[in-house]
Amino acid sequence: MKNATDDSEAWKPDILDDAVYTRTLEHAKLAFSHTQDVIKFVDSKCNVLTVLTTAVSGFALTLAKWNFEMPKTSAASYSAIAHHFPNWSLLVLFLFAVALISSAVCLGACLWSLIARKAPDGAFTVLFPVPRDATREKHLHLIGERLAGMSPEQIMREFDEQLRSLGGIAQKKIGHCKIAARAAMAQIVGLALAVILYVILFAISS
């Protein structure tokens, strides 16, 4: 089988016989299905991260609300802690801010992973028959043309086109998911350190 020297060109296989074509087609189908499964798996991980960071953010905001509504004369209030430990209290505030910023980054990365890049302009495949032309008539014509009969080379070209598109989508989703996971870790660590340090300062001041 030959590969195009220019990656932007569609792959044009030389089908030697029916056995080679059948074997190659089955392999392309497996690759297509596997890539879709990877995308689904990454999306499910982003869903878990979204729920996790939302829950941690809710806990952090509840702590902030509890401290804000606390009487200023209380030894557990932030103003009392800041009075006794001005420098350490700033570190607590910094860690708390890091946690909140990290949660925003995590949510943003998870949402951004939903934006999948479009297929190359002009590319139309039965595997992903989304109209890329402004006219409905053109879209229907392309579908009818494909369903009227496709040669082995046309079928392989469609798999090549769609596999490259799915590969690009999976790569971007994985990248966004990594950013979301690291941000979620930073959020949890930042909030945990802030709470632990706050409790220690309160215990010392008491």
pTM: 0.74
Q: Tell me which residue of 172, 113, 160 sits closest to 9, measured CA to CA.
A: 160
User: Per-residue pLDDT tens for 42-95?
Assistant: 999 999 999 999 999 999 999 888 888 888 778 888 888 888 888 998 999 999
User: Per-residue pLDDT tens for 23-44?
Assistant: 888 888 888 888 889 889 999 9
Q: Tell me which residue of 90, 102, 108 sits closest to 60, measured CA to CA.
A: 102
- pLDDT at site 6: 46
- pLDDT at site 160: 79
45-49, 131-135, 166-170, 179-183: segment of lowest average pLDDT:
131-135
Give the C-alpha separation, 125 to 142, whole Å.
Answer: 9
Give the C-alpha separation, 113 to 146, whole Å.
Answer: 31
